[in-house]
Amino acid sequence: MAAPPGSLLVATELRKTYGSTNALDGADFSIHPGEVVAVLGPSGSGKSTLLHCLAGIVPPDSGSIAYDGLELAGMSDTRRSQLRRSEFGFVFQFGQLVPELTCVENVALPLRLNGVSRKEAARTALSWMERLEVDDLKGKRPGEVSGGQSQRVAVARALVTGPRVLFADEPTGALDSLNGERVMELLTEAARSTNAAVVLVTHEARVAAYSDREVVVRDGKSRDMERVV
């Protein structure tokens, strides 16, 4: 697959096998800065494996992944770790907040891991919590807030470092429809305001509707879908 001009992240002919299962069988993918791309498919189709490969968490068996023109496979483990700490952001289905930390400490954690001072990290974290409408929860711990609130805190944590790519794996899967809609509104608004690309894995059409483009993964193969406007 020829990469569309201006692509930030491009994957070509990805293959990944687990035992006798072909999780990916020649999948392609590309995304531009500021673009939201929904990756759709039934359970077991390979969509989460695609996300993990794109993020450099899992290496494909074959194929190419280029981020900003550089091959992920050619990077050292240290460089890939740096990407995941600073240039990539992650939102998972259940948030995965640290229960012992307050909400503001959770949001500030990526900055602290990158060497930012406690005061500056807390200031930046609170700014993002305000944008995600959860700044009033700054002193509470994850177990003291609702699922929707917790997921907004997780989105703030994912965006606090100013990532160029945000990976969201079923970000509303554990939420009711009302909370899910608000999380998606805030997530996409915040990401677009910083020109971050969003790789959105979902099986829900209402969540995919927030994207600019849809890629369907089935049996490990990918196919771009035409969006009817």
Confidence of residue 174 (pLDDT cuts 50, 70, 90): confident
**How far, in Å, CA of 51 to CA of 78, rounded?**
20
Confidence of residue 2 (pLDDT cuts 50, 70, 90): low
pLDDT digit string (tens) for 64-90? 999 999 999 889 989 988 898 889 999
Between CA 187 and CA 193, with CA 188 as vertex, the angle to 5 degrees is 105
DSSP state of 177: H
Q: Where are the domains positioned within the chain?
A: 9-225
**pTM, entire model:** 0.91
**How far, in Å, CA of 11 to CA of 31, rounded?**
9
Measured in Å, how far apart are the chain's first and last C-alpha atoms? 25
Check residue 173 and give its pLDDT: 84
The strand pairing partners of 30, in sequence order, are 10
Burial (CB < 10 A; 0-12, 13-18, 19+), residue 180, is: buried
pLDDT digit string (tens) for 122-166? 999 999 999 999 999 999 999 999 999 999 999 999 999 999 999
Question: Which of the following CATH numbers is that of domain 9-225: 3.40.630.30, 3.40.50.300, 3.90.1150.10, 3.40.605.10?
Answer: 3.40.50.300
Q: How many CA atoms lie within 13 A of 159 on its CB side?
A: 27
CA distances from 40 to 36, 37, 171, 173, 195 (A): 13, 10, 13, 13, 22
Average pLDDT of the residues in 210-221: 93
